[in-house]
């Protein structure tokens, strides 16, 4: 596309020439790169991915870190696709073989440049985005959480040796194997051991304060983290770079120079942002972490329904005929990454599977997964007590730090705004396609309603009758009491 030599989209001869020229001059000045990138970006407007909103043979889940994607992977995708349909070791290019027969699911933290290895005309892309400020907080917290697990060891040498041994197990994908944690966690681990050793050498009692994000004697403070070269390279504007195919994990050569030019040239950053926006436009589905419940419902209807239809051998999905309980409502609703044996609910349920059943399975799975993650997080953070990362603690982070995070993630802020627009369009499209049929059924004699609707309607009728008849029943009792007195 724009920054690479691959042909992941249908492109014009002009763009193809400009892209090659751009790659060949990446080592030149940033001003030259900006000029060539601008010419390439302008040519993007004349093409698009054909049928981008229809599920193709291969589903590529572009997992932006700290967006809740792991929940989708384990509680949606692993429930829909059995292991036999999943591309092997679908994280960080670990033994990835796109030629595997019947490979239908590819989930990874890799950036969009991995599309150069996928059958472009047969691939659909889905992703989830998160508010950039919250995502930076989460990346900081997760890096510390995982690194703190190693504090059970007496020293850094022992911890490093242990992590090296665990990574040699072929059946397990460790967090340390996955981008960007394979860079962030070792750095944070070294920081934790260094600070722990310094505390032990210190004779006087420690006074840590009450700001968990600024306990420098225990962990790297947030304000230092966001300005560190590692964070600047891996965390800030991470979603934009990942969707544009420009991370340091990219399959495209020389993108490191481009990223640094983007940091210095706003114009070049705008070109990269436009590429990311247009790729979002062409994706099968774009979810939002902050709209978790509605995003999940939408994913089940827009993606899950098509996967079910595809794997059961039908050609099309009629959203109007989906189980009523699955329809989206108008109101808004690490670690080892083991990939053990998995039987999809499609295999278990055969043709009885529905979007409603998928959502039930998802909600059960999410509850268990969150419980496990919460216990593991608490266990890890106990090792760096009194530091404790909570929503309440975030509110006490100085405003100037939050403003700096916002400034450092200006591209992601704009990309997230664009994702919100896409999300609303997806919602409206699904709602419009579902409601006419629903309205028609509700007005027909055969409509019974879903279980929760029947219960709610019954309660509503009971409440109305109670409010209406209670005063009268009270008067009748009074009249009866008076009549009884009269007779006596």
Cα→Cα distances 190→47, 138, 251, 278, Å: 47, 19, 28, 39
Cβ count within 10 A of residue 190:
15
* Coil/strand/helix, residue 59: strand
pLDDT, tens digit only, all 488 positions of the chain: 333 333 333 333 333 333 344 444 444 567 666 655 555 454 443 334 556 678 999 999 999 999 999 999 999 999 999 888 888 765 555 445 656 667 899 888 888 988 888 888 889 999 999 999 999 999 999 999 999 999 999 999 999 888 776 555 555 677 888 889 999 999 999 999 999 999 888 876 677 888 999 999 999 999 999 999 999 999 999 999 999 988 888 876 667 777 778 877 878 888 899 999 999 999 999 999 999 999 999 999 999 999 998 888 744 444 443 443 333 333 333 344 544 445 566 555 545 678 888 999 999 999 999 999 999 999 999 999 999 999 999 999 999 999 999 999 999 999 999 999 999 999 888 877 654 444 333 333 344 444 555 566 677 676 766 676 666 665 656 655 655 454 44
> Helices (DSSP H) in 167-265: which residue ranges?
181-201, 222-225, 229-234, 238-244, 255-264
DSSP for 293-331?
HHHHHHHIIIIIHHHHHHHTT-S---GGGS-GGGSPPSS
Cβ partners under 8 Å of residue 190, min gap 6:
156
Cite the active site residues. Answer: 120, 141
For residue 107, list its beta bridge partners.
61
pTM: 0.76
Residue 181 to residue 63: CA distance in whole angstroms: 13
Cα→Cα distances 359→30, 202, 298, 340, 364, Å: 49, 54, 10, 22, 9
Classify the phi-psi angles of 102: left when phi > 0, otherwise alpha if psi is within -120 to 50, otherwise beta. left
């Amino acid at each position: 596309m724009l920054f690479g030599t691959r042909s992941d989209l249908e492109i014009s001869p002009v763009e193809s020439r400009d892209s090659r020229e751009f790659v060949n001059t990446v080592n030149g000045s940033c001003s030259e790169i900006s000029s060539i990138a601008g010419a390439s970006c302008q040519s993007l407007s004349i093409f698009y991915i054909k049928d981008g909103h229809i599920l193709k043979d291969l589903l590529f889940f572009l997992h932006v870190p700290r967006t809740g994607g792991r929940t989708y992977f384990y509680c949606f995708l692993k429930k829909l696709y059995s292991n036999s349909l999943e591309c092997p070791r679908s994280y960080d290019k670990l033994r990835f073989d796109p030629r595997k027969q019947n490979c239908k699911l590819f989930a990874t933290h890799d950036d969009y440049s991995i599309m150069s290895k996928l059958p472009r005309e047969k691939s659909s892309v889905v992703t989830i985005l998160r508010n950039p400020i919250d995502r930076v907080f989460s990346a900081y917290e997760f890096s510390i959480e995982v690194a703190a697990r190693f504090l059970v060891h007496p020293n850094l040498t022992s911890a490093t040796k242990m992590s090296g041994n665990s990574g040699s197990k072929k059946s397990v994908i460790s967090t340390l194997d996955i981008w960007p944690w394979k860079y962030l966690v070792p750095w944070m681990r070294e920081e934790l051991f260094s600070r722990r050793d310094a505390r032990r050498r210190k004779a006087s009692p420690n006074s840590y304060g009450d700001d968990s994000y600024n306990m420098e004697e225990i962990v790297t403070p947030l304000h230092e983290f966001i300005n560190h070269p590692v964070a600047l390279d891996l965390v800030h504007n991470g979603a934009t770079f990942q969707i544009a195919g420009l991370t340091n994990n990219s399959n495209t050569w020389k993108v490191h120079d481009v990223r640094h030019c983007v940091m210095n040239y706003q114009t070049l950053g705008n070109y990269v942002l436009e590429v990311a926006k247009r790729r979002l436009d062409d994706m099968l589905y774009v979810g939002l972490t902050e709209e978790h419940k509605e995003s999940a419902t939408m994913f089940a209807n827009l993606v899950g329904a098509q996967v079910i239809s595809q794997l059961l051998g039908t050609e099309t999905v009629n959203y109007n005929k989906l189980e009523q309980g699955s329809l989206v409502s108008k109101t808004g609703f690490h670690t080892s990454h083991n990939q053990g044996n998995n039987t999809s609910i499609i295999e278990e349920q055969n043709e009885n599977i529905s979007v409603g059943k998928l959502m039930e399975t998802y909600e059960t799975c999410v509850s268990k997964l969150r419980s496990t993650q919460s216990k593991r997080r608490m266990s890890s953070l106990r090792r760096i007590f009194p530091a404790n990362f909570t929503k309440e603690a975030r509110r006490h982070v100085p405003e100037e730090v939050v403003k700096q995070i916002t400034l450092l993630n200006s591209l992601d802020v704009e990309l997230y705004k664009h994702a919100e627009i896409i999300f609303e369009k997806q919602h409206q499209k699904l709602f419009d396609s579902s409601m006419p049929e629903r309205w028609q059924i509700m007005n027909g004699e055969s409509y019974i309603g879903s279980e929760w609707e029947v219960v709610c309607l019954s309660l509503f009728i009971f409440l109305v009758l109670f409010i209406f008849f209670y005063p009268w029943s009270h008067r009748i009792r009074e009249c009866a009491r008076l009549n009884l007195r009269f007779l006596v």
